[in-house]
């Protein structure tokens, strides 16, 4: 059987990569992709703990399902905002969208 | 051979390059893992786990470091499908299927649509900001913290248990019924908001003209 630590280390590496992407990238879509990677890391952690520590209560699995649903909602809404920003400003660069109202 | 297929040539090149890079990276790793398995140092499950980890981490690194936006989005597919394989290794096949359906079917398509609609050809796309070294430091620090915490903690008796799917369904729609309804409302509100936001605003233009 694969030890739990393997899954936790994989999830930590994935979360670090996603965090780097969120901080380093400037295109809004690429930031969205990095956020997806971070959410996947969190879901791996939830499911690993649910399978190894808490097999009867299913809490981790249910929360992983909610993470997936919230990620889908977040992508839809964020892409709507990015499209609106692009139409108003002709850019998808988050550094140029620093004012709240224009 | 590729000339007969109804594919644009750019896409051919992406597939060929991606396949070659994948084979060159995965080949040695596969040989090493199979050798270790033959010497019975690791089990078959671990071989699959390490292969899936390589796919996940390689796709993630490519997604945050490639300079072509479309290549980044395509690398995200590798990451998310690898994550589905990791879910299978964690004995929760239902969530693996949900992952493939939602991410492979919905999220990736949305992201690529977003890329196509916002990728202005005349604008130089600024990919990476000036805080790249800072971002690398913070990411490495968080990653190291989590890895140290996972490796140093004293876990109790650990064993993976298969989750029976009918019990999961009963639990999900019984005890977690209210959160399910809240998530349904959240999805509804989010997609309505996205629609309202991304719609072409006819009224706004006329208002601006009236002013």
pLDDT at B197: 79
Distance of CA A18 to the CA centre of its chain: 8
**Residue A66 contacts B where some CB pair is shorter than 8 Å:** yes
Q: Which residues of B touch A66 (CB under 8 A)?
A: 179, 183
What is the per-residue pLDDT for B209? 45
Domain membership of residue B146 (yes or no) is no
Q: Report the SS3 class of residue A50.
A: helix
Query: Are B115 and B21 found together in one domain?
Result: yes
Q: What does the pLDDT average to over B31-55?
A: 85
Identify whether the C-beta of residue B69 lies closer than 8 Å to the C-beta of residue A33: no
The model's pLDDT over A41-70, given as tens digits with 9 standing for 90+, comes to: 999 999 988 888 876 777 888 889 999 999
Domain count of chain A? 1
Full-model pTM: 0.83
| Minimum Cα–Cα distance from B62: chain A residue | A17
DSSP-derived letter for residue B159 is -
Domain range for residue A79? 4-93
CATH at residue B23: 1.20.120.1200
pLDDT per residue as tens digits for the range B68-106: 788 888 889 989 999 999 999 888 888 899 999 988 888
| Structural domain contains residue B142 | no
The pLDDT of residue B144? 93
Nearest-CB residue to B151 (from A5, A61, A82): A5
For A47, which of B87, B156, B197 is closest by C-beta distance?
Answer: B87
Percent of chain B at pLDDT exceeding 90: 20
The end-to-end CA distance of chain B, in Å, is: 60
* Structure-model confidence comparison of residues B3 and B187, the more confident one: B187
Mean pLDDT of B190-210: 67
Whole domain around residue B211: which residue ranges? 164-211
Please give the ipTM for the structure prediction: 0.89
Instruction: For residue B122, name the pLDDT band (cuts at 50, 70, 90).
Output: very low
Q: How far apart are CA B66 and CA B59, in angstroms?
A: 10
Bridge partners for B59 per DSSP: none
Within a 10 A sphere around the Cβ of A88, how many other Cβ atoms? 12
Q: Is residue A100 part of a domain?
A: no
Give me the number of domains chain B comprises.
2
Domain at A26, CATH number: 1.10.287.3510
Is the pLDDT reported for residue B45 higher than 90? no
Is residue B114 in a domain?
yes
The reply to whether A88 falls in a domain is: yes
Nearest CA in chain A to B181: A66
């Amino acid at each position: 059987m694969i030890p739990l630590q393997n899954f936790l280390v994989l999830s930590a590496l994935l979360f670090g990569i996603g965090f780097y992407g969120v901080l380093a990238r400037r295109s809004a879509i690429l930031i969205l992709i990095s956020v997806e990677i971070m959410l996947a890391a969190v879901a791996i952690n939830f499911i690993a703990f649910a399978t190894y520590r808490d097999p009867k209560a299913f809490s981790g699995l249910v929360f992983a399902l909610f993470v997936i649903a919230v990620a889908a909602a977040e992508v839809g809404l964020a892409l709507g905002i990015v499209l609106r920003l692009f139409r108003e400003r002709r850019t998808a660069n988050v550094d140029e969208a620093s004012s709240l109202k224009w | 051979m590729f000339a007969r297929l109804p594919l644009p040539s750019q896409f051919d090149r992406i597939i060929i390059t991606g396949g070659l890079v994948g084979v060159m990276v995965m080949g040695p790793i596969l040989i090493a893992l199979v050798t270790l398995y033959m010497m019975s140092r690791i089990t078959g499950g671990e071989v699959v786990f390490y292969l899936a980890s390589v796919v996940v981490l390689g796709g993630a690194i490519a997604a945050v470091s490639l300079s072509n936006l479309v290549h980044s989005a395509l690398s995200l597919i590798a990451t998310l499908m690898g994550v589905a394989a990791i879910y299978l290794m964690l004995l929760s096949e239902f969530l693996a299927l949900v992952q493939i359906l939602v991410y492979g079917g919905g999220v990736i398509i949305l992201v690529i649509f977003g890329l196509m609609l916002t990728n202005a050809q005349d604008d130089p796309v600024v990919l990476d900001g000036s805080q790249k070294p800072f971002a690398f430091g913070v990411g490495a620090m968080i990653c190291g913290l989590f890895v140290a915490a996972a490796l140093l903690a004293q876990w109790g008796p650990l064993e993976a248990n298969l989750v029976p799917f009918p019990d999961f369904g009963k639990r999900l729609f019984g005890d977690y019924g209210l959160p399910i309804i809240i998530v349904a409302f959240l999805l509804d509100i989010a997609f309505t908001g996205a629609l309202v936001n991304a719609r072409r605003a006819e009224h706004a233009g006329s208002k601006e003209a009236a002013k």
